[in-house]
Each structure stands twice: as C-alpha cells, then as structure tokens.
Structure 1
Amino acid sequence: MSGTGDSLFSLQRRERIMDEVRGHGSVSVSEMATRLGVSELTIRRDINALAQQGLVTRVHGGATLRSSIEPGLTPGLAGHDPTLTKYTIGMVVPSLDYYWPAIVSGARAQATQLRARFLLRASTYDVRDNRKQVEALLNTPGMHGLIVAPATSGQEGIEMLRWLDSLPVPVVLAERRIRSAAAVQRLESVATDHAAGAAQAVRHLRAVGHERIGLLAHWHNPTSRFVRHGWRKALKSLGLPTDVADVDTTNFDGPDRERAMDDVLQTCKDTGTTALIVLSDPPALALEQHARDRGIRVPDDLALVAYDDEVARFGDPAISAVRPPKQFVGREAVNLLIARLDAGSSRPAHRVMLNPELHVRESSRPAVPVSAGATAPDTAQTPAAVPAAMPSPTRTEEDS
C-alpha cells in the first residue's frame, strides 16, 4: 500500500479516536484496536500523534481530553476557541482521585460537545475550601455558571447550600442532594440513586438464593446512608431478615486491618449472613482476599457485591458490582446548566436522579454442586442454590 493510502487511513483512525474522546471523555487502546481492526500498537502510535498535537492526554491504556490544569496550558483554554463558545462554566469537585475523574470526564466531554469553555478546580471535603474554590471561579471573567460538589452535612452544609443558592450565576450540584432544611429554590442537582442501586444488589442476591444479606460500609462515607436506606428497604419489601451483618469498614485502613476483617467474617458467621453488599471496591477486594486466606470461599460460602465498580473486576474471583453512572452525572450536570443559561430564570429548577447498573460477575453467582465426573452446569441457566454454612474465620495450622 502506498504512503498516501497509509496517511489517509491514519487520518481516518485519528478522527475516529477524537470522536470517541469528545463523546466519552476518554478512549481505551484495546477497545479502539478491536473496533477498528488494527493492532494496539497502531492505536498507541495514533494517540501519541494526537498528544503531540495537543489534542489528547496519554494515560495508561488510552487517552483523555486535555485538561485545563495540565502544565503548559492556560487554565481553561485547552482547545478553547472564543469564536465558537457561548458560555464559560466552572466545576469544583472534592477530589481528582477515585470516583470523581469519571464525573469530570463526562462533564468536560459534554461541555466540549456543547461548545462551552470548561474550567476545573479541585477542592477537598471541607466546606471552607469548597467556598474558596467557588469564589476563585466566580472571579474568573465571563463566568456564566457553576457545577459544584460541596460538603452538605451538618449546619455548615446547610449554610453552604444557601450561599450557593444566592450566587449571581446558576449552580448545579453534582452527586449531591439538596437538603430540604436548606429551603433553597434556585439550586439544581443531578445525583445517582444509590438507594435504588443497593436495592438492585439485594434483589440479585435474593434471586441467586440468599436470604441473609448484610451490608459492609464506611459509615462516614457520604454515599453510605443512601445505600443503607436502599438495602434495608429492599430487605423489608422482600420479607428478608434484617438481623444480619451491618458493619463499619472504618478500621479496614488502620493497623488492626486483619482483625477488623476477621471480625466481619465472624459477624457473618454469627448472624448467618451468606452475602454482603460492600461499599466500596477497595474493602470488597480486601475482604475477598482475606476470606480466601481464612479458607472461606467466594461465592460458595460468602457472596459479595461491591458498590462503585472502579476496580471490582480485578478480584479473584471477579466481584459483582453496582456501577453509578458517573460520566452521565457529569454530562447531565452540564446539560442542566446550559439549559438554565439558555432559558433563563423562567425555567423551573430540575433535580435529577440517575439509576446505577448492576454488573454480575463470579463473586455472586449461585454455588451449584457438581457430582464427580460431571460437567459444571451453566449457572445462568441453573436454579440458584443457597450457599453452605460459612466456616469459622480462625487461622488454620497452615496459616500460623
């Protein structure tokens, strides 16, 4: 094939890659290679070329839209053409680690599609820092509206919501609920229905044969109270026992980590709990590994469903998980903000809830006994079986 042909195909591939990045905020090397029928090396070369042109940022396994906080870029001006943009919008998130990057990615992708200039600031889970970062964006010339994920607990949280409601630009909360005690009128919001996600997990575990379904969550996690509410409500609606394991994971990160996990396993044994919903992926992975070390089989003795689905698939076995629609939270937040800016104050405030999805993997499939010499049946077509009683989580002689 001639060099001209190669060049043409390269341009077509790179256009497809850019379409994917603009549409979803990121692109996977392996997925694009499969989709376009070329090698992963070819896609990596295309991404390198696009990165050299300043169009994408290379990351492990793929690429993302360039960020306005990257070195060498004027804040907020990555890919910005003032002749093509109508609005400038800002976003403040409490972290650029776990959970939030996907929300930011979705928001940036949608802002790009709608030709809005997008500015990002990272904050913490502290109200005072939230306010500081919001004020910094408000001081940016030409700022039209904000997407914010503030701390909302306690009286400080109520005052924060009231302050945001009083700002001269429209504000949309991302992955935050508007507390009724704040009595605000103008604030809009988009959040995941975490209670519905927990209920999905309960119904799935019941369908594969479990009746005693517990919960493992960090009680100070902002998502925890919604997950717990959905879990308890689902247990009651299905007529399932509620005297099951309900354990805090606070000590999972401390020096007594192993003892804390032993306590969880013992609580499951004492209460007859045969399945756990775990918020979030890291404690689910840690507990799965610890259970295996203690001779407790997943899913045969203890089934697991994680809540988040960031890294649950890397478990051994892969862990089923409820996946919040993070990118769509970011996208819908931008949609709400742009719609308000287009329509003005006459548009009623929207408060949107998005449903998460349950991804079933090996950690919660029904345990089906296989007779000697028989072939294991397809669990998707086999009636569910109740897991056997859990062994005691004490150390064996081999462990000592």
Structure 2
Amino acid sequence: MTDGDAKPVFGIARRERIMDELRQSGAVRVADLAREFEVSELTIRRDIGELAERGLVTRVHGGATLRSRLDTTVTPRATGGAPRYRVGMVVPSLSYYWPQVVIGARAAATELGVQLVLRGASYEADDQRRQMNSLVESGSFHGLIAAPENQGPDGHALLNWLEGLQIPVVLAERRAPSALALSTVEWVTTDHVFGGALAASHLASLGHRRVGILTSSQSPTSGQLRQGWERAIGELGLEATVDLNASLDYMEGPDRETFAASLLDRVRKTGTTGMLIHSDPQALLVQQHALDNGWSVPGDLSIIAYDDEVAENGSPPVTALRPPKQHVGRRAVEIMLARLEEGADRPVERVQVVPTLQVRESTAAV
C-alpha cells in the first residue's frame, strides 16, 4: 500500500495499533512498523509525530517510547494543559509481574490526562502502609491505586485502613474478603479461580487423570488458584495425587534440591502425569531438576506454569496461564478516573478479567 492509498480511517487505526505495540513492549522502531504496515518510514514518522504532539509518546532516534515524564518537548496546549488528576500507585514489586501492570496503568494515565506517581514496596503489610501513607499525607493526591496484602490480621487491618481514607482507592490484582464488608474500595483483578480450572481442563483434555499442584506459599494468588483447581478436578473426575504449597524459588540451593527430589519422587510413586505449578520460577526449577535427573518433559511429566513471565524461556518452553496484566493496570486507572469524575453517586465497580492459556511444548497427551 502506498501513502497515497491511505485513508484517514486507516491512519487512525494504524496509530491505534502503534499505541497497542507500545503498551505491549514499551518501545517501537520506525523501520519495523513500516514493514508491518506496508507503508513508508516517512508515514510512520508522521504517525509518531502526531502521537508525540498529543503527549502520548516520546520520540527517540529511529522510533518511539511511551511518554516519559522527562519529555518536556510537548507544550501544555498540545496536551490540553496540566494533568487533571494526580494518582498514587503502590505495588509490592518492581521486578516480577508488576512491571506489566504498571505499563498498562501508565499508558492509560497518559491518554486520560492523569499524573501517575509510582512507588515500589515489599510484600509486607507494614511497608505497604508506610508507602501508601506517605502519599496520602502529602495531601496532593486525588486517588490511590494499590496492591496491598489482603490476608491475615495485618492484611485485613490494611484493607480497613484503605476503606477509611478520604480519597478513592482502587485495588489492582487484589480484592477484599467478603467478610470485611468493605463498601467503597473498588478493584480490578484477574480471575485466578478460573485460571486454576482452565489448567485442570487443559490437562484433562490431553488425557491426564492423575494430576498435581504446587503453589507458592508467599503468593496471594495461590489460594484462588487452588479453589478453581480443586473444583475442576472434582468435576472432571481427575485424581489429585500431589498437593504442595511451598516457596521453592526462595529456598537455598541444598534445600531446593532436596525439595525438588522429594517432589519428583512423589510424582513417580503416585503415577502423576501432569502438574500446575505457580509461579513461573517454581515451574522452571522443577522442570530443570527433572531434566537433570533424566526425566522427559512432557514425556514423563507435563507442566503448566502460572504467571507467564518467564515460562517461555524454559527448555522446552513451558505452557502457562497468562493473566492480562497490562489490562489490569489500564482498567484500574480507568475506574479511578470514572470515580473522580462522577463522584460518590457512581456505583462501586469490582471487575474480574480472565487469564489466557498459552500452550507450549511442556504439555502433551498421555
């Protein structure tokens, strides 16, 4: 297609696809986009220029990135003035899982005129509250997006504290137990219960009947995964042969080897042929230990991971359930903006989105 053939509607669609690619990878190259869309590099540069003028991207040599706060090339008039709202965001990690959630949130914030201020915390409730409280006490934020601890007395106390804040709160990949009866906190989460059921269904479709699960004892996702898994294996007539909750990726080398050896010994003795393992690092550690000890994956054991952060880097690549992490971040910002604009009369919104199954070489028919 030549530049002369492009119609305005196609130009808009092309720019939307450029933004989609930026949200996915964080950066794009002009040459790659020109080949993909079958247009000249000049056309892509014009697209990027228009997106940059609207304050959506930052132009770099040979391409573009999502808009950086350090980008001062766009005038206030081009972006419609200063951000309408300032929203804090606190996540428990900046190295695993959460970067994709943050990318989605930042993209939505840029498009919607929201200034998003990010803080990283740990998985400890006290640290999370300290980081959140620092933002709240500054008095300069209109709302808070958070991923707090939500289990046990400390988690419940933190959720009750969030409920009592004078600014809107939206949870990302977290929800409050029904027993707390929170009435104002909103959230957007992945339906991890469905993810557990989807894993069991995939193994059943391949003929597996004796199956196991290993979840991370430190992850709030594990309990929801187990709900879906246990319900599904009962309905599908599968036999639960291995059921463990541990933190294999946090163990020291010798302890990890001992645990993995014990796990595989149990797998062999029970005739287990398929396992769901959360999270990716635990799945890859089990896979590697199995291969090092002469097992075949998936010949002797099919493995499904949960998170899909690094599962495709396994050898062979590991089948995984992929939560829509960027979409979770985007929807959290959208829900926050709707709350800020419509006020207290807007119904409280609590959203679940569904993970997808990425089938790779680590699962096969029995």
Same fold (TM over 0.5): yes
Q: Match of 1:182? A: 180
Distance 1:212 1:116, change over 3 A: same
- Measured at CA, do residues 85 and 21 of structure 1 come closer, stay the same or move farther in structure 2, by a change above 3 Å? farther
Supply the RMSD in Å over aligned alpha carbons: 3.4
Match of 1:225 among 202, 207, 223: 223
Contact 1:186–1:349, Cα closer than 8 Å, also in 2: yes
**Aligned partners of 1:22 and 1:113 also within 8 Å:** no
Where has structure 1 moved over 4 Å in runs of 4 or more? 14-18, 20-25, 28-34, 53-58
Q: Which residue of 1 aligns with 2:149?
A: 151
Please give the alpha-carbon distance, in whole angstroms, between the structure 1 residues aligned to 2:324 and 2:102: 12
Partner secondary structure for residue 87 of structure 2:
strand
Does the 8 Å contact 1:211/1:240 carry over to 2?
yes
The answer for the alignment partner of 2:307 in structure 1 is 308
Following TM superposition, by how much is the alpha carbon of 1:247 offset from its aligned partner in structure 2, in angstroms?
A: 2.3
- Which residue type is aligned with residue 89 of structure 1? V
The secondary structure found in structure 1 opposite 2:239 is coil
Matched, 1:116 2:114: yes
- The answer for unaligned runs of 5 or more in structure 2 is 1-11, 73-77
Structure with max Cα Rg: 1
Deviation of 1:64 (Å): 4.9
- Please report how far the alpha carbon of residue 28 of structure 1 lies from its aligned counterpart in structure 2 after TM superposition: 5.5
Closer/same/farther in 2, CA of residues 298 and 158 from structure 1, 3 Å limit = same
Amino acid at match of 1:186: T
Q: Does 1:105 align with 2:103?
A: yes
Mapping for residues 379-390 of structure 1, pairs under 5 Å: 386=366
Q: CA deviation at 1:279?
A: 0.4
Secondary structure of the structure 2 residue equivalent to 1:245: strand
Write the mapping of 1:1-400 to structure 2, written as runs, cut at 5 A.
19-20=19-20, 23-24=23-24, 26-27=26-27, 32=33, 35-36=36-37, 56=58, 64-65=65-66, 83-140=81-138, 142-242=140-240, 244-252=241-249, 253-256=251-254, 257-366=256-365, 386=366
Letter in 2 for 1:202: A
How many residue pairs get aligned? The number is 341
C-alpha displacement of 1:89: 1.3
Structure 1 residue 255: Cα displacement: 2.5
Contact 2:190 2:355 in 1 (8 A): yes
Displacement of 1:180 after TM fit? Answer: 2.2
- Measured in 1, the distance between the counterparts of 2:59 and 2:272 equals 46
Identity within the alignment, % = 44
Distance 1:134 1:360, change over 3 A: same
User: Is residue 56–residue 110 contact of structure 2 (8 Å, CA) maintained in 1?
Assistant: no
Which amino acid in the other structure matches residue 19 of structure 1?
Answer: M
Task: Report the alpha carbon displacement of residue 171 of structure 1 after superposing the two structures with TM.
Answer: 0.3
Long gaps (5+) in structure 1: 1-11, 75-79, 367-385, 387-400
More helix by share: 2
| Map of 2:9 onto structure 1 | none
3-state SS in 1 of match to 2:184 = coil
> Structure 1 residues 32 and 167, CA, compared in 2 at 3 Å: closer, same or farther?
same
Distance 1:229 1:17 in 2: 37
Q: CA deviation at 1:65?
A: 2.9
The amino acid that maps onto 1:246 is D
Query: Amino acid of the residue matched to residue 248 of structure 1?
Result: N
Contact kept, 8 Å, 2:275 with 2:302, in 1: the verdict is yes
Q: Distance in 1 between matches of 2:59 and 2:306?
A: 29
3-state secondary structure, aligned to 1:306: strand
